[in-house]
């Protein structure tokens, strides 16, 4: 089983991301969960959301305390929120940033795999707004290979209708443009 924690801000689409990823996994015949963690957050406040994906039935229903992967939608959260909390030492950190993976590794003193992509830039160019959720799904698909990129297209078409082609372009660009620094 792979467990993923998403960090974003209210209104950035973290909940949509977990839903799209879970639906894509289910489309591939896998089992998946996607659930947000909400308190009294408001638009712009830090939020977390979670996914579990496995080839067999997922029986655990608890929170995720030691994720295999952490995805950061908003680069301003690095340093504001402890994005590494509980992340397995050999885990994968995927960050929307203009910084290189090595810069993030050094900044956070993290020895695992770091993936960076300028999802904000891609989203502005492809979608016209800096909402990075669907863009970051492309980075997730390539970085951890838990689902095929093509499997995300159906859920995106269903969710976004006539805007789906722009979202699909954004996720494909992130898939191609990400940078990876493997675990040390």
Domain ranges of the chain: 2-181
Check residue 88 and give its pLDDT.
97
Q: Which of 79, 25, 71 is closest to 49 using CA atoms? A: 71
pLDDT at 46: 82
Q: What is the CATH number assigned to the segment(s) 2-181?
A: 3.40.920.10
Q: What local confidence, expressed as pLDDT, does residue 42 receive?
A: 64
pLDDT given for residue 83 in this prediction: 96
Decide: 54 and 119 in contact? Cβ < 8 Å: no
User: Which portions of the chain are predicted below pLDDT 70?
Assistant: 38-43, 184
């Amino acid at each position: 089983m792979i467990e993923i924690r998403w960090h974003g801000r209210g209104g950035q689409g973290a909940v949509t991301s977990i839903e799209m990823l879970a639906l894509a996994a289910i489309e591939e015949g896998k089992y998946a969960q996607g659930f947000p963690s909400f308190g009294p957050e408001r638009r712009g406040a830090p939020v977390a959301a979670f996914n579990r994906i496995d080839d067999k039935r997922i029986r655990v229903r608890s929170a995720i305390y030691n994720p295999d992967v952490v995805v950061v939608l908003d680069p301003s959260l690095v340093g504001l929120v402890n994005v590494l909390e509980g992340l397995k030492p050999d885990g994968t950190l995927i960050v929307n940033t203009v910084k290189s993976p090595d810069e993030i590794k050094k900044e956070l003193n993290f020895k695992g795999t770091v993936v960076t992509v300028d999802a904000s830039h891609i989203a502005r160019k492809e979608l016209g707004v800096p909402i990075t959720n669907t863009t970051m799904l492309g980075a997730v698909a390539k970085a951890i290979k838990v689902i095929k990129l093509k499997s995300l297209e159906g859920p995106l078409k269903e969710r976004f209708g006539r805007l789906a082609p722009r979202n699909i372009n954004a996720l494909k660009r992130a898939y191609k443009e990400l940078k990876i620094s493997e675990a040390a």
